[in-house]
Chain A
């Protein structure tokens, strides 16, 4: 490896929790191998570096950019565009960049509702705000106009903003998968990796036969050792309602386990601790809407032919369908967000 010239690596975070950056560090001593193979040219979370430095770089001069977080503000969109321009390979790193993740669930609200929650109703960050001060995109000061990034109504995924080459799923991606991805990129060289995608690796044209996702093309059940039988569900339970049997498929016990629809790669971590899969690795190849897969699969095995009973089973068992089926993928789903008020 050392005979290869060092590549240039950038890491960035947008609307995310920071877990992805920690996950990169969680590859432990292997981070030294990363440092050996790459010059880290930009990583605001861990290293000093200014946006201005990036702006000064030549277009395409960064070999790989691992971008985590969704796009919620104009600043994040600007950075996405900037890093896209400067990078040969842009990787949507983790669930937020790939499909919106938990920050994307705020697409069930509007900007106003989000601000009301934070600035009016009180929150950990803004406990008191008697004057109801709200962030303003532009504020006039004697020295001139100060700008704050504009907060969008709708969080977008990275590939709804700029073209993305690869996706690394997970919330956060498992250390092992991160290492595999980095070695794949380093080992094959950026060009070789891209050559595997004759039609251009982008998930924008759905469905796409080419998988730009660095991961397995099957679902979590593949890695789950539980006993599975034919499925018939008479009642859905929430996790606190039952203590599930440790050997039988959780879904068969009525728990909303998303493992059936979720890309494998984590090693079925949650089912291993008797907890249903929540779907953080996102959808399998060629799937245009994760939530629709869950809805269709679950509904198909409801054990009733009576519309009233079916409705009751669904409404009682799944009080929060969006949170259950789109916990990680709302922003990347077909509808992307809740309907806003009637637009004239």
Chain B
């Protein structure tokens, strides 16, 4: 059957017609391109009348393919595909070509524009003749959801879904949920007590009938695809029986082994070898740190086992792998603090009274190592002056180019706490003060009024090398004050470095497990930076919180809720549609060379050891076509982007480049 192609060239008012002779293009296409039965130009093809015209032609002329020369397919491909569908033509037999963004808007020469438009229309027409009808697939959505990360973003997502009546599995690496927010003393700009607003949410999650928590556990493996993921969770050995333990805490109290707590206390305090990270931990089941436990290292002690009233301590416990089936995954894996030692001139780790922001959070926390007293490393002296250094590992080409977004506000919060709790002078050394959200600028104004000193300039160095008598025994902050235009040396007792936010060390590895990618900086890439900020390129995998990019608590909460809403929407609908643009392997032709086997980041290609052929798992395939281009035998086909279609497109797009003399098929 011969093709019957309809060509439609849009004026888009004067947007296209202004620099392309659209009437000429339509007339020319009707005469010069084979199998074209209709070729029209129209004022606004995307209008309902324009769409109606195409639909009428499909019906009356029996069109087998439609070419729309208009704007970007990213704008209106759906519109015209739907129009075709309404008229009974498979939507994948409609091809758009971009005459506006790629021709008329970037050029003012009408002759040149018209020429390029003809080539693009020719290419689209040659292509559409070879396009095949495709049908999207529907799969059912498992209503259970996996949330990875028990920080505030993950908790919010968990609660939203659980409250809506859906089952949630929450995986947290640490022994307790809560995340970084549990470490903070106050939150800006309201100065709410962080624990006071967080712990109710934690216990709600802990007690929720729809939530199953896996703390001290990690995501091991993900397979399957949207609607039907299979995940494996590694429950690390806790050495405490989850069911027997009542969380009384007597084991921790009696444990003779004290260890510096690098995680929760940021190195500022101690914990025991059997411990819960903090008093309000959820769950309250402690874990044994086998690396430091005397029983595990020296084979002696067993005190915890002896004192446990319920006989819950189990030194023989092993890691356990749990397999779960879920329909969607929300990644809320958070962040880690920039290692301030990477900027040695700021002296952290070398100069005792240089602190990181996380250390200072613990220092002023009432539940922290000093019970909230702001004192220097000696544990008793109150500082008389405190310097807060902004942008440590942020906005710096030597470490991270991005702004961490939260440090300015946290610095103001610290300033307030120091002024409130001590008589010290507080200096803030900033590049730019960034206070864009609700009530943030007001908080800045408040600190100006409270007497915090602001010095605009990036700190060059923090040193203890005194040059003048008044610098003796002090930390000297060397800075160029860019408002005064001069170098300053400001001696202080204590320095707080506002370390930036960085992606988790294993973010990339974890992302690969579920098929999502990271930006250059290492943050998870959302599907669209503006319009789809919680979805990812892998259907059924969503992101929330700082793992997607630096943000503060309200933004993380909002994103957690947004991800949950997306998931809830899919569960409520019950099914999900999968694009039919996928690869397939002709098993007859496949010789099992295995070139394609490790090219797929979505693990959509499997090798059948028995038949010695490779196979595409359609539900996992995202349709990028990389394996198609790699197959040395040419037996992998990419639907809607197969070689024949692209070759035809090349032929069409170069219709005016082939010297006629060269097209010589020898006459016999």
A–B: direct contact at CB < 8 Å: yes
Q: Mark interface residues in A265-301 (1 if CB within 8 Å of B CB, else 0).
A: 0000000000000000001111110000110110011
Query: Among A161, A206, A229, A286, which residue has the most Cβ atoms of chain B within 10 A?
Result: A286
In angstroms, Cα B632 to Cα A251, docked, is: 13
Q: Does B598 contact A (CB under 8 A)?
A: yes
In angstroms, Cα B665 to Cα A163, docked, is: 8
Q: Does B633 contact A (CB under 8 A)?
A: yes
Besides the known contacts A219-B593, A220-B591, A284-B633, 6 further A-B residue pairs in the complex with CB atoms under 8 A apart: A163-B668, A228-B593, A228-B594, A229-B594, A230-B597, A296-B630
In angstroms, Cα B634 to Cα A294, docked, is: 11
Q: Which residues of A contact B633 (CB under 8 A)?
A: 218-219, 260-261, 284, 287, 293
Which of A160, A221, A283, A288 is in CB contact (< 8 Å) with B593? Answer: A221
Which of B612, B635, B647, B666 is in CB contact (< 8 Å) with A207? Answer: B647
Q: Does A234 contact B (CB under 8 A)?
A: no
Contact A228 B592 (CB under 8 A): yes
Dominant secondary structure at the B interface: loop
Contact B595 A217 (CB under 8 A): no
Contact B666 A288 (CB under 8 A): no
- State how many residues of chain A have any CB contact under 8 Å with chain B: 39
The residue in chain B whose Cβ has the minimal distance to the Cβ of A77 is B666
Q: Which residues of B contact A88 (CB under 8 A)?
A: none
* B612: min CB distance to chain A, Å: 8
Contact B632 A294 (CB under 8 A): yes
Which of B630, B631, B666 is in CB contact (< 8 Å) with A161? Answer: B666
Q: Does A162 contact B (CB under 8 A)?
A: yes
Q: Does A231 contact B (CB under 8 A)?
A: yes
Contact A218 B588 (CB under 8 A): yes
27 residue pairs A–B, Cβ–Cβ below 8 Å:
A160-B666, A161-B666, A207-B644, A218-B589, A218-B591, A220-B591, A222-B592, A228-B593, A230-B594, A230-B597, A230-B607, A231-B598, A249-B594, A251-B593, A260-B591, A260-B595, A260-B633, A284-B635, A285-B589, A287-B634, A293-B633, A293-B634, A297-B595, A297-B630, A300-B626, A301-B598, A301-B599
Q: Does B643 contact A (CB under 8 A)?
A: yes
Q: Does B629 contact A (CB under 8 A)?
A: yes
Contact B591 A207 (CB under 8 A): no
In angstroms, Cα B643 to Cα A293, docked, is: 12
Q: Does B375 contact A (CB under 8 A)?
A: no
Dominant secondary structure at the A interface: loop
Contact A301 B593 (CB under 8 A): no
In angstroms, Cα B612 to Cα A229, docked, is: 11
In angstroms, Cα B635 to Cα A85, docked, is: 35
Query: Among A218, A220, A222, A288, which residue has the most Cβ atoms of chain B within 10 A?
Result: A218
Contact A81 B647 (CB under 8 A): no
The residue in chain B whose Cβ has the minimal distance to the Cβ of A81 is B668
Q: Does A264 contact B (CB under 8 A)?
A: yes
The residue in chain A whose Cβ has the minimal distance to the Cβ of B647 is A207
CB-CB under 8 A for A301 and B595, given A85-B668, A294-B632: yes
Q: Does A8 contact B (CB under 8 A)?
A: no
In angstroms, Cα B630 to Cα A287, docked, is: 12
CB-CB under 8 A for A296 and B643, given A228-B594, A231-B598, A264-B591: no
Which residues, 622 to 657 on B, are CB-close (under 8 Å) to A? 626, 629-635, 643-644, 647
Q: Does B576 contact A (CB under 8 A)?
A: no
Which residues, 21 to 49 on A, are CB-close (under 8 Å) to B? none
In angstroms, Cα B647 to Cα A228, docked, is: 32
The 8 closest A-B pairs by CB, nearest first: A261-B632, A222-B591, A297-B632, A221-B591, A260-B632, A300-B630, A221-B593, A260-B593
Q: Which residues of B contact A84 (CB under 8 A)?
A: 668
In angstroms, Cα B661 to Cα A237, docked, is: 43
* B434: min CB distance to chain A, Å: 34
Q: Which residues of A contact B590 (CB under 8 A)?
A: 218
Q: Which residues of B contact A264 (CB under 8 A)?
A: 591
Q: Which residues of A contact B629 (CB under 8 A)?
A: 296, 300
Q: Mark interface residues in A148-163 (1 if CB within 8 Å of B CB, else 0).
A: 0000000000001111
Q: Does A259 contact B (CB under 8 A)?
A: yes
In angstroms, Cα B594 to Cα A264, docked, is: 16
Q: Which residues of B contact A230 (CB under 8 A)?
A: 594, 597-598, 607
In angstroms, Cα B631 to Cα A284, docked, is: 11
In angstroms, Cα B666 to Cα A226, docked, is: 44
The residue in chain A whose Cβ has the minimal distance to the Cβ of B665 is A204
* B611: min CB distance to chain A, Å: 11
In angstroms, Cα B626 to Cα A296, docked, is: 10
- State how many residues of chain B have any CB contact under 8 Å with chain A: 27
Residues of A at the B interface (CB closer than 8 Å) are 81, 84-85, 160-163, 204, 206-207, 217-222, 228-232, 249, 251, 259-261, 264, 283-288, 293-294, 296-297, 300-301
Q: Which residues of B contact A219 (CB under 8 A)?
A: 591, 593, 632-633
Contact A231 B589 (CB under 8 A): no
* B652: min CB distance to chain A, Å: 15
Q: Which residues of B contact A221 (CB under 8 A)?
A: 591-593
CB-CB under 8 A for A288 and B647, given A81-B666, A301-B595: yes
In angstroms, Cα B588 to Cα A230, docked, is: 20
Contact B666 A283 (CB under 8 A): no
In angstroms, Cα B633 to Cα A294, docked, is: 9
* A267: min CB distance to chain B, Å: 13
* B236: min CB distance to chain A, Å: 30
In angstroms, Cα B631 to Cα A294, docked, is: 9
Q: Mark interface residues in B582-614 (1 if CB within 8 Å of A CB, else 0).
A: 000000111111110111000000010000100
In angstroms, Cα B386 to Cα A220, docked, is: 74
* B592: min CB distance to chain A, Å: 6
* A82: min CB distance to chain B, Å: 10
In angstroms, Cα B592 to Cα A218, docked, is: 10
Q: Which residues of A contact B595 (CB under 8 A)?
A: 231, 260, 297, 300-301
Contact A162 B668 (CB under 8 A): yes
Q: Which residues of B contact A162 (CB under 8 A)?
A: 666, 668
Q: Which residues of A contact B643 (CB under 8 A)?
A: 207, 286, 288
Q: Which residues of B contact A288 (CB under 8 A)?
A: 643, 647
In angstroms, Cα B632 to Cα A232, docked, is: 15
CB-CB under 8 A for A283 and B634, given A85-B668, A162-B668, A231-B597: yes
* B74: min CB distance to chain A, Å: 28
* B306: min CB distance to chain A, Å: 52
Q: Which residues of B contact A228 (CB under 8 A)?
A: 592-594
In angstroms, Cα B633 to Cα A222, docked, is: 11
In angstroms, Cα B635 to Cα A217, docked, is: 9
Q: Which residues of A contact B631 (CB under 8 A)?
A: 293, 297
Query: Among B592, B593, B598, B643, which residue has the most Cβ atoms of chain A within 10 A?
Result: B593
* B234: min CB distance to chain A, Å: 24
* B618: min CB distance to chain A, Å: 21
The residue in chain B whose Cβ has the minimal distance to the Cβ of A217 is B589
Q: Which residues of B contact A232 (CB under 8 A)?
A: 598
Q: Which residues of B contact A285 (CB under 8 A)?
A: 589, 634
* B465: min CB distance to chain A, Å: 41
Q: Which residues of A contact B588 (CB under 8 A)?
A: 217-218
In angstroms, Cα B633 to Cα A261, docked, is: 5
